[in-house]
Chain A
Amino acid sequence: MEDEMMEEGGVIKKFMYINRTAPYGTIYALEALEVVLIGAAFEQDVSMVFIDDGIYQLKKDQDTDGIEMKNFSKTYRALEMYDVEKLYVDKQSLEERGLTEDDLLVDVEIKTTDELTALMEEQDVVLSF
């Protein structure tokens, strides 16, 4: 691809991880996070998108003591340390759930459908969870 940058002999590709599932009810959200963290070690250009119930992964105040599962919501705040800084949230999904940016536990960029479509089109690799 023309726009691929070369760094230390490796090719940097644009990886987008699309998250559309709520946490805890299924394993998808946690597995997506694991894959993102593994991918981050390869110094790629990573972005995460939260659409539909994926929005709920970023909800503040999660407390899993009562269901005896690991609360992995804090991990989203650590993504920055792995240079995963592009977190995009679908505006429509947020609105359908009556949530606002203030309900989320990390800083995100709220994007419209058209903006997300454009971002998706830029990617080399798109992985869905």
Chain B
Amino acid sequence: MLHTVNKSPFEKNSFETCLRFAKDGSAILLFEDGVYAALQGTKFAPVVEEAMKSKTIYALGPDLAARGVSDKVLEGVKVVDYGGFVDLVAENGPVESWL
């Protein structure tokens, strides 16, 4: 299963609810405003670091760049481009979108 989150964790609880339901071993892709969850120094950083022990977290590069935060991504988060997004969809079976 591929989980996607496109909302800021500060604005909606989509990311946290996604983490609550996502099974160990699943892939979570953050894109659009969802990428704000992938950053160092935020109040969500410890939550993400904990989640990465059992899940793989990806962030969409173009959305990080647009928001000026490419250099603040947490260590362990995998940055992918649009092609990588497509690969994740192809490799991980069904997509669950947390809006």
Q: A residues within 8 Å of B by Cβ?
A: 21-26, 52-53, 56, 59-67, 69, 71, 73, 96-99
Query: How would residues 29 to 43 of chain B score, 1 for a CB under 8 Å from any chain A CB and 0 otherwise?
Result: 000110010011111
Inside 8 A of A26's CB, which chain B residues have their CB?
33
Which residue in chain B gives the minimum CB-CB distance to A60?
B68
Q: Are B10 and A52 interface neighbours, CB within 8 A?
A: yes
Is residue B86 within 8 Å, beta carbon to beta carbon, of the partner chain?
no
Q: Could you tell me the distance in whole angstroms from the C-beta of B41 to the nearest C-beta in chain A? A: 2
Expressed in whole angstroms, the Cα–Cα distance for A60 and B69 within the complex equals: 8
Q: Are A25 and B61 interface neighbours, CB within 8 A?
A: no
Inside 8 A of B7's CB, which chain A residues have their CB?
25
Given contacts A22-B67, A59-B68, A97-B41, contact A66 B33 (CB under 8 A): no
A to B CB contacts below 8 Å, 27 in the list? A21-B11, A22-B8, A22-B11, A23-B67, A24-B63, A24-B67, A25-B6, A25-B7, A53-B10, A53-B11, A56-B67, A59-B68, A61-B70, A61-B71, A62-B65, A62-B68, A63-B65, A64-B65, A66-B66, A67-B62, A67-B66, A71-B66, A73-B68, A97-B10, A97-B42, A98-B40, A99-B41
Inside 8 A of A66's CB, which chain B residues have their CB?
61-63, 65-66, 81
Given contacts A22-B11, A25-B6, A98-B42, contact A59 B69 (CB under 8 A): yes
Point out the residue from A21, A59, A98 that lies within 8 Å of B67, measured CB to CB.
A59
Inside 8 A of A62's CB, which chain B residues have their CB?
65-68
Q: Are A24 and B33 interface neighbours, CB within 8 A?
A: yes
Q: Could you tell me the distance in whole angstroms from the C-beta of B73 to the nearest C-beta in chain A? A: 12
Q: Could you tell me the distance in whole angstroms from the C-beta of B36 to the nearest C-beta in chain A? A: 7
Q: Could you tell me the distance in whole angstroms from the C-beta of A70 to the nearest C-beta in chain B? A: 10
Is residue B51 within 8 Å, beta carbon to beta carbon, of the partner chain?
no
Q: Are A53 and B33 interface neighbours, CB within 8 A?
A: yes
Q: Are A52 and B41 interface neighbours, CB within 8 A?
A: no
Expressed in whole angstroms, the Cα–Cα distance for A62 and B63 within the complex equals: 10
